[in-house]
Amino acid sequence: MEPILIIKSADFLGSAVKAAQYPGHELPELAFAGRSNVGKSSLINCLLQRKKLVRISRTPGRTQTINFFDINHAFCFVDLPGYGFARVPEATRASWRPMVEAYLTTRKQLRGVVQIIDLRHPPTAHDVSLWNWLKNRGIPAVAVLTKADKVKHGQWPEHARQAALVLGLSVDDCVLFSALTREGRDILWERLARLLDLGVSAPASP
């Protein structure tokens, strides 16, 4: 077995709304995308074993910046603004697409995107649209079905099958996840380590 990845440091680097504000490093980056309130902040905090590194939102749709986090001074997590929340102002909603597309199409060190979807419901039109856009661009993407703890275990296969079908994946390609129980954390880390080409396996669970 390869050495285990340990999270030694996780630091907020800054926010950006345009390319000039992206950090100047050349570290490989992984971006996280999902509908507002889907559980993206919770998932990132769970991966990093940090309770409050990424703020868990009380006002869905409020954060409209791209946020960069340095991990172990070896790679970078990029928290993309959430999409698809009905109650955000139209101007905010309209700015999402160019801001996010600019990052996804121009950032040279982007290694892949983690797209987070709610296991409880079929992927939304927004989810599918982003997923297909990533696929058409050839950007590697991992589909994570989160809030698994809110679905009865016996119903997981059916929910996962439906999501996989809509996304054009096999069920085994989807990662079932729960920030509450940490279900899927190690499997997701394995996938991320592969995208980052770290040559290590998942971090040790405490």
Q: Does 159 bind ligand GDP (CB under 6 A)?
A: no
Tell the smallest beta-carbon distance from residue 26 to ligand GDP (Å).
Answer: 27
Q: Does 124 bind ligand GDP (CB under 6 A)?
A: no
**Minimum CB distance to ligand GDP smaller for 64 or for 200:** 64
Pick from 23, 28, 60, 140 the residue near ligand GDP by CB under 6 A.
60
Do you know the residue count of the chain? 206
Give the x-and-dash track for 69-108 against ligand GDP (CB under 6 A): -------------x--------------------------
Q: How many CB atoms lie within 10 A of CB 39?
A: 23
Cβ distance 147 to 114 under 8 Å? Answer: no
Give first-to-last CA distance, the chain, whole Å.
Answer: 18
**Minimum CB distance to ligand GDP smaller for 82 or for 123:** 82
Q: Does 40 bind ligand GDP (CB under 6 A)?
A: yes
Q: Does 64 bind ligand GDP (CB under 6 A)?
A: no
- Which residue has 């869905």 as its token pair? 60
Burial of 126 (0-12, 13-18, 19+ CB in 10 A): middle
Q: Given the DSSP bridges, would you call strands 10-16 and 66-71 parallel, antiparallel or unpaired?
A: antiparallel
**Candidates 142-150, 154-162, 168-176, 194-202 — which segment interacts with ligand GDP by CB under 6 A?**
142-150
Structure tokens at 161: 């099958």
**Minimum CB distance to ligand GDP smaller for 37 or for 72:** 37
Pick from 16, 29, 33, 34 the residue near ligand GDP by CB under 6 A.
34
Angle CA 63–67–73, to nearest 5: 155
Q: Does 38 bind ligand GDP (CB under 6 A)?
A: yes
CA neighbor of 196 nearest in space, from 105, 100, 71: 71
Tell the smallest beta-carbon distance from residue 118 to ligand GDP (Å).
Answer: 9
